[in-house]
Chains A and B, each alone.
Chain A
Amino acid sequence: MRRSCSIFVALCCCSIFLPVVCGQSVVARWDFGTEEPAPVTMHGEVAKDIPGPRPPEFPDFAEDNTAIKLNGSGYLSIADPGTASDFDFANGDSIALEAWVRLDSPRDGQLMYVIGKGRTNSPRFARDNQNWALRVISSKGTARLSFLFATPPAPGQQHWHRWTSQTGFPVETGWHHIAVSYTFGEPQSIIGWIDGRPTKGDWDMGGATESTPVVDDDDIWIGSSLGGSSSNSFRGSLDSIAIHRAPLTQDYVTAQFNRVGGPQVVEPQPAVMPDVKGVPNNGVVVTLSGGFPNDSRWPLTSEAWPEESARLQVPQFLLHRVPAHFDDWGIRSSWDAPVLVRMAGDVTLPVGEQEFLIRVRSLSRLWVDGVLVAQTPAARRRSGNLEPIVPIPVPPVADGRVVGFVQQETTGTYEVTPVAGEASRSCRVVFEFLVGGSGQRTESGEVCVALQDGDWYRLLSPDTRSALPLLNHTVATALAEIEHRVTIFEDFTRRTAAASMSPFWDQRHQIARDWVIENSPDHTRQSDVSSENIDALIRKKIHQASQAAAKHDAATTEHFHQKVLPVLRDQCFRCHGEKSRGGLRLNSRDNVLKSGDSEIPAVVPGDPDRSEMVARIRAGDMPPTEEGLASEDVALLEEWIRSGAPWPAQAPPEHLTRLAPVIDDAAFIRRASLDTTGTLPSAAEVTAFLSNSDDRRRERLVDRLLADPGLADHWVSFWMDLLAENPTLLNQSLNSTGPFRWFLYDALRDGKAIDRMVTELILLRGSPHEGGSAGFGLAAENDAPMAAKAHILASAFLGVEMQCARCHDSPYHSTTQADLYATAAMLNRKPLAPPRTSRVPDAFFESKGRESLIQVSLPLGTAVTPAWPFAAVTGVSDDDEIRKLMLDPDDSRERLAALITSPGNQRFAQVIVNHLWKRLMGAGLVEPVDDWEGHPPSHPEILNYLARELIIHDYDVRHILRLIMNSRAYQGEAIGQNLEAPPDKRFFNAPDARRMTAEQVVDSLFMAAGQSIDVEELTFVHDGSHAIGKRLTLGKPRRAWMFASLNNERDRPSLSLPRAQPIVDVLEAFGWSGSRQMPIAVRESDPNVLQPGILANGTLTQTLTRASAGSALAELALEATEPSALLDQLFLRFLSRLPTDAETARFLPALSAGFQSRVVNGDIASSLPVEPALPQVTWTNHLVPEANEIQLDWQKRVLRGPPPDNRLQPDWREVYEDIVWSLVNHRDFVWIP
């Protein structure tokens, strides 16, 4: 990711950084302090504020001197000011480069750029344009200096020239000073220094040359070259880099290196069992420490152990993942890898020699009572795509848990000595291991310590009840508990961090409430149940419409509405309806009688010839189409004007105004559950609700559902669509983003206020690849990502549609290209020019005969400065008032967030409540929800009322959901036709019929069948061998929203995800897309043949409607006492209602036949699947042909599905399954009642 960040460069004008001795020669110097005098662009992973050389070892430096640290994936760039700059050196010019460096453990032969100019792989320059460069090369533990430059290529001549020092310094020995000095054109002038001592060297590539070097305007890079290639990038810390335009003197260099205490002697620290504090009595404490100095060895004497940053407790020495890391606002961020993990517990062990088994991915040590019992080395790096397939080991016992893919395992023994003659005693066990590091994911794999027990092992645990045998099913149970604890730990960590911002948000919400009181004094904070207001306003509109109905005779009314109005609407309203192009609107009688910019009335009743509208139509310039208006339509309009231009009101049809009957309780609980938790209610919930006689049972149900954590699982999909969350598992493609689904999900799960969620989204915080809101800021293959984001934000939160404005001013909207880029620049924190590729070429206009509908008002190359273009539409302007809502008023990005979420922004709250209304009612008060210009609300008072309610209730969307769900309007039968009606005919006499969303279909299928989603982890990296930024991991889906696009554009079976595919097939058939290249405000919901098809024939339904071995449906059938009760249960599960008498009459005979003899003497164990485990396919082995076979084998298994439960008689079971199938395939399963 490209981040721009200004850090601490002082150019020569800034005298405070100038060295004393030959200061006049310094042209640039970077001290990496915390002050930031001038911008340097930071790329990739650059850690700031790392300790630099400091006293007492280096007394000339400040106590708090800071440096930067690079890990091979980051660098800094500085633009060359232009021709003849201080960074340009031609023959005769002297250059000297110096730096303080501290090398971590570089690979042998690693070539690391300290600083260089050119060779950046910029397309603007030749690739071999090295103006000059200072590097260090590590070889066998010694680092040497390397000075490199290129001369312009000439036939038959070497144009690379490299000088390498003869002496070096040992790596991993703290800070060293290096320098090199050279006068171009004088090969003998070169000299290097290490720690103040001169070193000779050799021109060992291309030879010495008197030719002049390449001089151009390419950038200066610190820490890398060749486009950021990791094999040329610096790994370690850098400080005090300087460039001189004069040779250095020995005196100067000697003065630079002042070290107290001589060279560092570096050796591994002695291995000692760590003293873990606070070990609980009956559990295992897990401590986590980020920022471990090295990922492949234990610390050296020169290195410090990192501080513990978090701890949690688990029952056994078993862990499957490292908990997520959160920043200080509680937003997902990255661990500072490698992470040191320690598990410690006091375990009672039997006296005698004990064998311990450890399983872990990389470097680890197991200690018992201070003795090192077992250890594993650092893992070998896997790479490429042809690593051998790792066979699954065969355990010596049935169901034995074998070592996980790419985990190491080893054993060690320890003699437990008796104390006071006891047969056992408590021993302190500590297992420490490293997770992640350069280029590796921070993923632990399944880690465990187990104790030998007969032929096999038991999990080690301080609690004997938790010391489970190491078997697949016991480990699965234990891991479920550990996952639960890790989730609680993550929730706690995140919420604690988020609480640090509560005072700020409390204050903002106080401002918001005050705003409502001041601006809307009539709007008092009422009791929560004020849903009656909604119903009253709906009745009011219906009443008014009937009152206004027809004062004209029926024939005139019909003629106008059937003939005249359609012509006006189709031909004129696009520009002269709600919009007023040319100052003219033609959408009411009052309006047609007015004059537009032409100052002539559009319509003069009774006199077509004096009507400007007719004149323009006759002249052929209106409407602005090639063929103009058909002659019969012209005649129609003329006749209408001649007859006085009547505009009679039409009585609204009864089906739009008659209030729908209220749905029954069974339908209500189904509807309400789907709208909150996103799934069907359970059979038990339906039964309980149907027998509840409490008058307020619906309100109470709504309250319970709104408090359910499932609310987040349901609503997160909506936001992912609206905000174009688009993570890709393989390579990034168009508009790929990070998985900011986790940010959204956390915010919803924690009930964050919507203004806060939107603000934190816009601030792009946390890890872009691990679920922070920063993931929203990415847009792969997009020439203007911030413009794409500005477009998304404006449509999602302001109802302003700016798609067209990307390349030209909007033809049908008032927004301009400058508006879009001004917003984008606010996000960008600096001016932004539209790229050439996002612009209609001038040639387009030259080819047009007539004036084009579209305009490009922004000259090419114009950088648009950050500005808020929505003052008029939102009611909030960018003035000093907005500072009150901000932490950093100078940050344009935060300013954008504050302007969007300000209480003074009328639009924001209205747009939010309109989204909620549409989701619950099937149509918005404003349609389309993402494009409000020219689209008035059907019920402005409801819109306004709900918006104020949102603000005054601290922007809690649950309050609005509660208001709507408790209204009679929501509880009406779904026979509304609001979506298709124009605003004036949209009465909301009933909600519109809604089909379940794709996620609701899938989650409801699993819910009704009583099963959980069980698919492979969504990733192509199972061995941690790619950095998370290169290929994502989206985890194992638990709910439908967690799936992602399974794009396999290479058509390789080895890159398919066979277990996820059947679920994704259902999701996609029902309108879900994992590829959200554009924001999706409204999903396609037209019925198509694939929807019922995939339910009728798809693998998912086949699996879930089967009474498979041990499944909930099989158990239900086995436990049933009466066929009628079983039938009731099926109807309650799948349709949330009891069967009708007619249905009972049809189904019961089928279910009763053979009911008594349905249970046969089967054995559940023998009906369970016994398929052998298949080896893991992952990116690094996917081109091995066997990888295809494995995935195709998976596909076959998935297609076959689980075996049926053999305790059920097959003929009866099939009838039972067919009934289930019919319930799933009935229309009412997928339509919300």
Chain B
Amino acid sequence: MSPLHRRSFLAASGCAAASVSQAHLLANSDSPPALRGKADSVISIWLGGGMSQIDTFDPKAKGDPAEKKAGGYYDPIDTAVNGVQVCQHLPRLANLMDRVTAVRSVHHEVIDEHAAATNRMHTGRPISGTVTYPSLGSIVAHELGNSDAGVPPYVLIGYPNVTRGPGFLGAADGYLYLTDTSQGPAGLSRPSDISSRRQARRQKFLQSIATRDNGTSARSLRDYELAIEESLRLSGPEFSSVFQLDDESADLRNQYGGEFGQRCLLSRRLVERGVRFVEVSHNLNFLNGAGWDVHNSGIVQQHKLIEELDAAVATLITDLESRKRLDRTLIVITTEFGRPPEFDSGGGRGHQGSAFTCVLAGGGLNHQGAWGQTDELSKKIVSDPVSVPDFFATICAATGIDPHKNLYDGDRPVPITDGGRPIRTLFS
């Protein structure tokens, strides 16, 4: 049986054994008609360490670390959306909240392990002892594929990590990565000290070498030769130009800000070129040591991180909008978990998975400014809870992907999300 045929066979037989997380399995039969958005690419900003929702997008009355009084660390400010406030260090995004939905009721049960929470927020499901799940980026790459032949569908701007990888989908749906916007992705950017002249000479030499079998070879060898050609093309001037941030105006580059802002700018250039999913990592721990993981004194400089995020994301939104791409580009901000309103002994905050905020912007959604409500301390969800699968389903639906579709780990059907249901309001 051809693999293709076998897959359709399995899909039809509906022997979904993928998830053992209860309840969701029942949800599909009575689902309302599928929701489909029209975004064709995703820029996913990852805040490693765990963004404190109460200090950013879900502000509450201020507390006092010295007095051990629970509450926010900063003052809230009003935004473009009536009744929706954000913290004082997000002034630029505040003006754009009509293009944004801060989903304030995301939750999971992972508390104290960064790797596990990172995994949950990249794969959208609890780990399984028998399956390595693909990341959302790989799922989108798998489902949307290349928009135009020859552009990698999934680019990671951050350190490589198995959690961000393709899991059972296999290397074809993996990422290209880079950790420095002044360099291209590892493997596809020609070293700076190799001139075009040298590169041409190298390729001439390469063509001068005989193949062992005079071209009578098996398909796998011919495929490898095609891959050589393709990699030479991708590392050539055409695709490499996408990494030339110097082409942008100095003014725009300044608006985006430092290295993180430049990453966002590069993401915009990548999605314009047809990349489907860009993950941008924002946790270089230069500003406050711990990045978003603001235990103890890490919180003292937390506002610098928030301000950097504010400038970069606000610029990204307006930049995409001015280029008429905002409706087709879904911006997502996700994080490991949130942080509790209480302060730890060092004046910082611990971890809180039971209620935290992830953010959606652009992508043609019917934005609300905020969605879901927490109590007066941002500790408990009081309305419209959004599970991680629901949040993933919302992203999928926004990009036209059926969140219930089965992918296959060998024989085993695995739905794209673990029974997630998109937030309907954003699609009306």
**Which residues of the other chain, A, contact B186 by a CB distance below 8 angstroms?**
1065, 1094, 1098-1099
Interface residue? B283 (CB, 8 A): yes
1/0 contact string of B38-51 vs chain A (CB within 8 Å):
00000000101100
Which residues of the other chain, B, contact A1085 by a CB distance below 8 angstroms?
220
Contacts of B225 in A (CB 8 A): 1227
* A1140, B210: Cβ atoms closer than 8 Å: yes
Contact between B230 and A1089, CB atoms less than 8 A apart: yes
| Distance between Cα atoms of A1045 and B160 in the complex (Å) | 10
Grouping DSSP codes into helix (H, G, I), strand (E, B) and loop, the B interface class, with mixed when no group exceeds half, is loop
Contact between chains at B114 and A1222 (CB < 8 Å): no
State how many angstroms separate the Cβ of B138 from the closest Cβ of chain A.
14
B114: chain A residues within 8 A (beta carbon):
731, 1049-1050
| One of A209-217, A847-855, A893-901, A951-959 contacting the partner | A847-855
B81 touches A (CB below 8 Å): no
Q: A252: which B residues are within 8 A, CB to CB?
A: none
| Nearest CB in chain B: distance from A830 CB, A | 20
B217 to chain A, nearest CB (A): 7
Q: Taking A625-B13, A841-B20 as contacts, is the C-beta distance between A1050 and B293 under 8 angstroms?
A: yes
- Cα(A1056)–Cα(B180), bound, Å: 13
> A1050-B283, A1075-B162 known; A733 and B119 CB under 8 Å?
yes
Whether A1090 is near chain B, meaning CB under 8 Å from some CB there, is: yes
Shortest beta-carbon distance, B178 to chain A, in Å? 11
Residues in chain B near residue A16, CB distance under 8 A: none
Q: Let me know if A1049 and B231 touch, CB within 8 A.
A: no
Name the contact of A993 in the complex, choosing from B118, B220, B230, B234 (C-beta under 8 A). B220
A1047's partner among B115, B218, B226 (CB-CB below 8 A) is: B115
Contact with B along A555-578 (1 / 0, CB 8 A): 000000000000001110110000
Whether A843 lies near B26 (C-beta < 8 A) is yes
The residue in chain B whose Cβ has the minimal distance to the Cβ of A1090 is: B187
Chain B proximity of A1078: nearest CB distance (Å): 6
Answer whether residue B300 sits at the interface, using C-beta atoms and an 8 A cutoff: no
Query: How many angstroms from the CA of A1146 to the CA of B220 in the assembled complex?
Result: 28
Shortest beta-carbon distance from B174 to chain A in Å: 8
> From B150, which residue of chain A is reached at the shortest CB distance?
A1089
A1136→B323 CA distance, assembly (Å): 55
Residue B111 is within 8 A (CB to CB) of chain A in the complex: no
Interface hits, A1043-1087 → B, CB 8 Å: 1045-1054, 1056, 1065, 1068-1069, 1071, 1073, 1075, 1077-1078, 1084-1087
With CB as the reference atom, state the residue of chain B lying closest to A801: B410
Question: CB of B170 within 8 A of chain A?
Answer: yes
* A1215 contacts B by Cβ under 8 Å: yes
From B187, B203, B290, A1183 is in contact (CB under 8 Å) with: B290
A852–B160 Cα gap in the complex (Å)? 40
* A1218 interface hit (Cβ, 8 Å): yes
Contact B188 A1097 (CB under 8 A): yes
B211 touches A (CB below 8 Å): yes
Cβ-based interface call for B66 (8 A): no
Contact residue among A853, A977, A1147, A1230 (Cβ-Cβ distance under 8 Å from B15): A853
Chain B 211-242 against A: per-residue CB contact (8 Å), 1 yes, 0 no? 11100111011011111101110110000000
Contact flag A1228-B209 (CB < 8 Å), given A1047-B161, A1087-B223: yes
Contact B20 A839 (CB under 8 A): yes
Q: Does A838 contact B (CB under 8 A)?
A: yes
Residues of B contacting A787 in the complex (Cβ-Cβ under 8 angstroms): 129
Q: How far apart are B295's CB and chain A's nearest CB, in angstroms?
A: 10
A837 at the interface (CB under 8 A from B): yes
Contact B289 A730, beta carbon cutoff 8 Å:
no
Contacts of B25 in A (CB 8 A): 841, 843-844, 847
A residues less than 8 Å from B26 (CB atoms): 843, 847
Residue of B nearest to A1075 (CB): B162
Asked if A1053 and B5 sit within 8 Å, CB to CB, the answer is no
Contact A1052 B20 (CB under 8 A): no
List, in ascending order, chain A residues with CB within 8 A of B179's CB: 1053, 1056, 1195
Whether B163 pairs with A1226 at a CB distance below 8 angstroms is no
A-chain residues with CB within 8 Å of residue B188 when the two chains form the complex: 1089-1090, 1093, 1097
Contact residues of A between 795 and 810, Cβ < 8 Å to B: 803-804, 806-808
Q: Which residues 104-126 in B have Cβ within 8 Å of A in the complex? A: 113-116, 118-119
Q: Chain A CB within 10 Å — which of B115, B227, B283 has the most?
A: B115
Question: Residues of A contacting B22 with CB < 8 Å?
Answer: 841, 843
Docked-complex contact A1092 and B17, CB < 8 angstroms: no
A401 on the interface (CB 8 Å rule)?
A: no
> What chain B residues lie within 8 Å of A938 (beta carbons)?
none
Q: Which residues of A contact B130 (CB under 8 A)?
A: 788, 791, 803, 806-807, 1078
For B64, the chain A residues whose CB sits under 8 A away are none
Residue numbers in A under 8 Å from B162 (CB-CB) = 1045, 1047, 1073, 1075, 1077
Complex contact B285–A1221 (CB within 8 A): no
The answer to whether B201 has its CB under 8 Å from any CB of chain A is yes
Residue from A841, A1087, A1140, A1221 in contact with B224 in the complex, judged by beta carbons closer than 8 Å: A1087
Q: Which of the 9-residue segments A70-78, A516-524, A775-783, A1108-1116 touches chain B?
A: A775-783
Q: Are B217 and A1089 in touch, CB under 8 angstroms?
A: no
A1096 touches B17 (CB 8 A): no
Residues of chain B in range 25-66 having any CB-CB distance to chain A below 8 Å = 25-26, 29, 46, 48-49
Give Cα distance in the complex from A733 to B130, angstroms.
Answer: 14
Q: How far does the alpha carbon of A1056 sit from the alpha carbon of B159 in the complex, in Å?
A: 8
User: B166 — nearest CB in chain A belongs to which residue?
Assistant: A1084
In the complex, what's the smallest C-beta–C-beta distance from B187 to chain A, in angstroms? 4
Which residues of B (145-165) have their CB < 8 Å from a CB of A?
152, 158-163
Say yes or no: A1226-B206 contact (C-beta < 8 A), given A733-B116, A1084-B170, A1188-B284: yes
Interface presence of B250 (CB below 8 A): no
Q: State the Cβ distance, A1209 to closest chain B Cβ, in Å.
A: 15
Chain A 1088-1128: CB-based contact to B (< 8 A → 1; otherwise 0): 11111110111100100000000000000000000000000
The answer to whether A784 and B129 touch (CB under 8 A), given A854-B17, A1077-B162, A1097-B189, is yes
| B365 CB to nearest chain A CB (Å) | 27
Q: Which residues in B have their C-beta under 8 angstroms from that of A1077?
A: 132, 162
Instruction: Give every chain A residue within 8 A of B291 (Cβ-Cβ).
Output: 1050-1052
A1184 shortest CB reach to chain B, Å = 7
Q: A1088-B227, A1089-B227 are in contact. Are A1097 and B205 (CB under 8 A)?
A: no
Q: Which residues of A contact B412 (CB under 8 A)?
A: 803-804
Which of A1075, A1188, A1221 is close to B286, meaning CB atoms less than 8 Å apart? A1188
CB interface residues, B 183-198, toward A, < 8 Å: 183, 186-191, 198
Q: Given B13, B29, B158, B202, which contacts A853 in the complex, CB threshold below 8 Å?
A: B13
User: Which of these, A1071, A1090, A1188, contacts B231 with CB under 8 Å?
Assistant: A1090
B220→A811 contact, CB < 8 A: no
Nearest-Cβ distance from residue A226 to partner chain B, whole angstroms: 15
**What separation, in Å, do the CA atoms of A839 and B130 have in the docked complex?**
12
Question: Residue on B with the closest CB to A1223?
Answer: B209
> Once the chains bind, are B212 and A1065 in contact (CB under 8 Å)?
no
Which of A1065, A1093, A1184 interacts with B234 by CB under 8 Å?
A1093
Instruction: Say yes or no for B208: interface residue by CB 8 A criterion.
Output: yes
Q: Are A1046 and B289 within 8 A (Cβ)? A: no
B299 to chain A, nearest CB (A): 13
In the bound complex, do residue A782 and residue B129 qualify as a contact, i.e. CB atoms below 8 Å apart? yes
**Interface check A412, CB cutoff 8 A:** no
Residues of chain A from 1204 to 1221 with CB closer than 8 A to chain B in the complex? 1214-1215, 1218-1219, 1221
- With A1091-B227, A1233-B212 known as contacts, the answer to whether A1069 contacts B187 (CB < 8 A) is yes
B382, CB-defined interface residue at 8 Å = no
Q: Would you give 7 A-B contacts (Cβ < 8 Å), ordered by A?
A: A623-B9, A806-B129, A854-B15, A1065-B186, A1073-B162, A1090-B176, A1097-B191
Would you list the 7 A-B pairs with minimal beta carbon distance, nearest first? A1222-B205, A1093-B231, A1146-B208, A1094-B187, A1093-B187, A853-B15, A1075-B162
| Extra 16 A-B pairs, beta carbons < 8 Å, given A787-B129, A803-B412 | A571-B9, A627-B12, A732-B115, A808-B17, A977-B218, A1047-B115, A1048-B161, A1049-B118, A1050-B285, A1069-B187, A1078-B131, A1078-B132, A1094-B187, A1096-B235, A1097-B231, A1226-B211
